[in-house]
Structure 1
């Protein structure tokens, strides 16, 4: 059980760490990609939400395992396009923080929502995350590389969440429930801290 807890918490912590390599991006296309790749990972809010999306997808199982993360990435791209176009989306930062709270709680309590409802909730949160990424997208040719960067980073964080969900499920009902509740609770409390301006 101790190894299961360590594995789960280490995976969550590793996925939430800032991308150190993105602190000093290069110029041109490299800057666009590295900046875009680092953006989802350099903020605790984005990283935790993306990992929770993966765990949530794993908990739902079946088609949700790939539909939930894929929907998030595609709708996030739409939100990014809105950000680039300068289309205002109200309460973006609040929406991002709420996504951490809600997704953490859904994971902690292993809430089995119908797939259409899950995709709807994921889609709403993806708009907020995408808009935040798109608002920082370079207007030059590096913009496409930036978009590719944040979409790939998001997908990798989803994969980390799926892996965490797999580890949790493999460790049996008793240990799995404990690790799930711990990971979800950490995310939820972090989201509350973000909403309150404490993080």
Structure 2
């Protein structure tokens, strides 16, 4: 018989895995713009969705009063990266790095407090910028790109907050909760990488 706390952790972690598996594979949308398109661009891409959620989960491995910093940095860097990628050609290397970031993020969640807060902030800054750059290169040229970035920001922030809520539940329910979630994130990243390799 599993302890109730461990069972809750496994249930939450399974929900995380299911969310990753049922979300649609991300694809370029061509010339897109507008608030709604920005939101859809994030929520229709399993790599981007899981990346934002993973950041929120990792944030909850840090002291409560500072947990929000990682999510804010990731979202802000994503928005800046999107602007940097606007009008630039899509590069397969960027997509590979973004997928690889999931594997790294999963490992970081498993290690929990292996990094100091400044180190974690630096990692979220880099990963957020990479995710945003990928968004920007897929958006194409449009005069409404500002609204599109607004949609990207809203969706990414909402997913990061959801990740924080899940991370909090996992942290409170079991000492193994975050590790289980981290393992699932890393495995999902490897699964997505295998899809790119085919």
- Tell me the TM-score normalized by structure 1: 0.81
Contact kept, 8 Å, 1:82 with 1:88, in 2: the verdict is no
Q: 2:12 aligns with which of 3, 7, 16?
A: 7
Deviation per CA, 1:159-199: give whole Å up to 9, x if none. 111001110122143xxx1x322221121112122233268
RMSD: 2.8
Q: Which residue of 2 aligns with 1:76?
A: 78
Q: Partners of 2:21 and 2:48 in 1: how far apart? A: 8
Relative distance call for 1:9 and 1:135 in structure 2 (3 A) is: same
Find the residue that maps to 1:59 and give its secondary structure: coil
Q: Name the count of aligned residue pairs.
A: 187
Q: Partners of 1:96 and 1:61 in 2: how far apart? A: 27
Relative distance call for 1:35 and 1:88 in structure 2 (3 A) is: closer
- Tell me the TM-score normalized by structure 2: 0.81
Note the C-alpha offset of 1:122: 1.0
Q: 1:113 aligns with which of 98, 115, 132?
A: 115
Deviation per CA, 1:71-130: give whole Å up to 9, x if none. 111111111111115288883112201110011111123243111111111111111100
Contact kept, 8 Å, 1:81 with 1:131, in 2: the verdict is yes
1:147 matches 2:149 = yes
Find the residue that maps to 1:139 and give its secondary structure: coil
- Which runs of 5 or more residues in structure 1 are unaligned? 20-24
Q: Which residue of 2 aligns with 1:22?
A: none
Note the C-alpha offset of 1:144: 1.9
Relative distance call for 1:89 and 1:106 in structure 2 (3 A) is: same
Q: Which residue of 1 aligns with 2:94?
A: 92
Q: Which residue of 1 aligns with 2:105?
A: 103
Matches within 5 A, 1:124-135: 124-135=126-137
